[in-house]
Amino acid sequence: MPQLSLHTPLGEITISEEDGAIVSLDWGRGSDQESTPLLREARDQLHDYFDGKRVSFQLPLAPHGTPYQRRVWAALVAIPAGETRSYLDIAREVASVPRAVGQANGANPIPILIPCHRVVGANGALGGYSGGDGPSTKRYLLDLEARALNQPSPAQGTLL
pLDDT digits (tens, 9 = 90+) for 92-131: 999 999 999 999 999 999 999 999 999 998 777 788 887 7
Pick the catalytic residue from 90, 116, 142, 146.
116
Residue pLDDT, tens place only, 13-48: 999 999 999 999 999 998 888 999 999 999 999 999
Q: Is the dihedral of CA 99, 16, 9, 146 positive or negative?
A: negative
pTM of the model: 0.91
Is 116 catalytic? The answer is yes
Which domains are delineated in the chain?
Answer: 3-50 (no CATH), 67-148 (1.10.10.10)
